[in-house]
Structure 1
Amino acid sequence: MSPLPRHPASPRTPWRTRTALLFLITALTAGCAAPAVSGSGNTDVATGGARFSTADAATAALGADVGPGVFPRTITHSAGQTRLDAKPTRVVVLDTGELDDVLALGITPVGVASPDGKVSPYLEPRIPGVTRLGPLDPLNLEGVAALQPDLILGSALRVEQLYPQLTAIAPTVLSIRPGFPWKENLRLVGAALGEEDKAVELLNAYQTKADAVRERLAGAPPTISLVRFMPGRLRLYGNLSFIGVILEDVGLPRPPTQDFDELATEVSEERIDQAAGDRIFYSSYGDPQTTGQDAVVNGALWARIPAVAAGHAQQVDDTVWFLGLGPLGADLVLDDLTRLLG
């Protein structure tokens, strides 16, 4: 098998920054979004699992056994090996990251499912005629089969236990997990679709844009705190997250309280002062009243945080910053950073 081509600028994985280090620290808290693992997913690759922190390096080793665009091909992926006799044209995707990836690569899927059965608002306008298959738990396997796909894309985190049923319907390729390996996942999807070169083009364009965001900053870059309000929990996000990777690629440092190689750490509302960055970007996963956002940002403790007092705390779109999981979402984050830091 030939692994996916590595980016010449990176000694680690192809799409991290030049100074990135191999992440070997086990994460502390639950997964990248709720629900973190569906009933048919693999907990070993969830946050806190044995395979979480190395998911990007492991995914970078997966791919096709032939050159770009050549079929037939065999794809080595998280669940094994899958042979594809011809370029897929009827693709079913089983999460936001896979949907983002195929759309960015110029492919409109025939069906889409997701953990909560919803399509992210930033992607919804792009798929007006695509069949909605609902949530992953339980996944509508009959609906998937009825679409007669020639490729199914998902992840071990979400649907590994369903792999036998899925591969009986159509050739199935699974990444390890969504989130911080989003660039490696794009390359794996590119390999499955025979669009490796397009994936490389997308990632090079992304990094060029990230570099431009950094160059627009006057003086030393500000440290960035990421705060996410969720039902029953309050998170400060670290480096092993979709948004954490983007900040690293732009060259935006993190305050010591968030400069860790994990997805996130949970804090109480009384410790919100740990969001100690020069800039704070915050969002709510759900209604701000039920996630606690309204109570915290209107409270005295929040007001006393230096970044808040300086007017440098800004709300961002949760569905993009924390649930984007692909190049289209990443591009929107870069647009936001240009606007918010300009």
Structure 2
Amino acid sequence: MRLLAPALVTTAVLLSACGTTETPTSTAPASAAGGPVTVTDSRGKEVALDAPAAKVVVLEWGETEIVTSLGVTPVGVADVAGYKTWNSVVPLPADVKDVGKRNEPSVDSIVALDPDLVIVAEGRDTALVGRLEQYVPVVVTKSSDAAGNFDRLRSDVRMIARAVGKSAEGDRLLSDMDTALAEGREAVEAKGAGGTPFVMADGWSQGSTVSIRPFGKGSLVSDAAEAVGFTNAWTGDVDPQWGLGATDVEGLTALTDPRTMLFYSASEDDVFTTGLAQNPVWQRLPFVANGKVVKLEPGTWTFGGPKSVVHVAEQFVKAATA
């Protein structure tokens, strides 16, 4: 299922993952344009390039968004069709090559593109990284860290930007994000909606059973919502990398504050409409009864880069200030 999109999600959450708080950094001094570049990735490994990478293959959608936002068109991306469905904020040109699934890309397809660099998210098959490194330099991003996702995002953006020779563009991308979040918070506070409790979720169905995945504190969506003045109401267990939990409709009955708003993501099957609409437990939930359910726009990627963060935040702000 495409909504199981991050590199990994824990078994308790749904199906696997863990992370650390180590952040990648750049260790070499700024090089002249076109000169050698060295970055240190999330493994703590120094990756040296003879020049900023111009031909880049990216194997995760958030990182694909970042590279494209920096003004570099990837020569190859894993699951191009999926990216176009789930991330509409930063479109891909039609000629970007598909190199297979994100969890099982084709090494042959990647190598055939003769890239200068491959960008891989932490948590993917480590054997894949080793195989790719026989042919091409690889940098591994942190991709998510519920202990500090904004700090992690900044590190990933700056590392990628340096690797592709776009450090100034990376700084501007982050600055634009910070400005948008600050303006959003001002709008929410001006409306008197600061501190509004929320729960964010996505979900899927298996037969007649609807599973719900809440985005707890530490998830990127939660960080974005809290940055514009909301308060995450989900207090259940979440995994340490993505900040994601697991529940069902009955589990949502713990959310009793009538001010709570539910936001949800469904770029494909909308189980909140098709699977829950007639469910009596769902109908009695305060945010349902009070008409405070907000579906994020299709193509809103909840594990993306700075532009996705802004897109998420803008929708929270719009809902709070309507």
The interval holding the TM-score normalised by the smaller chain is 0.7 to 0.9
Which of 28, 42, 63 matches 1:78?
42
2:291 is equivalent to residue 311 of structure 1: yes
Preserved contact between residue 69 and residue 196 of structure 1 (Cα < 8 Å): no
In the superposition, the TM-score normalised over structure 1's length comes to: 0.76
Structure 1 portions without partners, runs of 5+: 1-31
Which of 144, 157, 170 matches 1:199?
170
Structure 2 portions without partners, runs of 5+: none
Residue 231 of structure 1 and its aligned partner are, at CA, apart by 3.9
2:37 is equivalent to residue 66 of structure 1: no
Residue 326 of structure 1 and its aligned partner are, at CA, apart by 0.8
Counterparts in 2 of 1:69 and 1:163: CA distance versus 1, 3 Å: farther
State the secondary structure of the residue aligned to 2:82. coil
Once structures 1 and 2 are overlaid, which stretch shifts more, 195-204 or 331-340? 331-340
Preserved contact between residue 262 and residue 293 of structure 2 (Cα < 8 Å): yes
Amino acid of the residue matched to residue 218 of structure 2?
L
In structure 2, distance between residues paired with 1:318 and 1:240: 23
Preserved contact between residue 141 and residue 156 of structure 2 (Cα < 8 Å): yes
Match of 2:63 in 1: 98
Match of 2:83 in 1: 119
In structure 1, distance between residues paired with 2:132 and 2:15: 25
Which of 264, 275, 291 matches 1:282?
264
Preserved contact between residue 249 and residue 282 of structure 2 (Cα < 8 Å): no
Once structures 1 and 2 are overlaid, which stretch shifts more, 267-276 or 128-137? 267-276
2:198 is equivalent to residue 219 of structure 1: no
In structure 2, distance between residues paired with 1:69 and 1:259: 47
Instruction: Write the mapping of 1:128-167 to structure 2, written as runs, cut at 5 A.
Output: 128-167=94-133
Residue 318 of structure 1 and its aligned partner are, at CA, apart by 6.2
Match of 1:336 in 2: 315
2:224 is equivalent to residue 246 of structure 1: yes
In structure 2, distance between residues paired with 1:142 and 1:42: 29
State the secondary structure of the residue aligned to 1:297. coil
Counterparts in 2 of 1:69 and 1:229: CA distance versus 1, 3 Å: farther
Once structures 1 and 2 are overlaid, which stretch shifts more, 252-261 or 204-213? 252-261
Match of 2:52 in 1: 87
In structure 2, distance between residues paired with 1:42 and 1:336: 28
Preserved contact between residue 193 and residue 320 of structure 2 (Cα < 8 Å): no
Residue 183 of structure 1 and its aligned partner are, at CA, apart by 3.2
Deviations 1:104-128 (A, max 9, x none): 11111111114x9722331674321
In structure 1, distance between residues paired with 2:135 and 2:10: 21
In structure 1, distance between residues paired with 2:228 and 2:94: 33
Counterparts in 2 of 1:211 and 1:255: CA distance versus 1, 3 Å: same
In structure 2, distance between residues paired with 1:42 and 1:296: 25
Residue 147 of structure 1 and its aligned partner are, at CA, apart by 0.7
Q: State the number of aligned residues.
A: 298
In structure 1, distance between residues paired with 2:156 and 2:129: 18
2:1 is equivalent to residue 34 of structure 1: no
In structure 2, distance between residues paired with 1:319 and 1:311: 23
In structure 1, distance between residues paired with 2:10 and 2:140: 12
Residue 188 of structure 1 and its aligned partner are, at CA, apart by 1.7
The sequence identity of aligned pairs, in percent, is: 24
In structure 1, distance between residues paired with 2:32 and 2:124: 28
Match of 1:210 in 2: 181
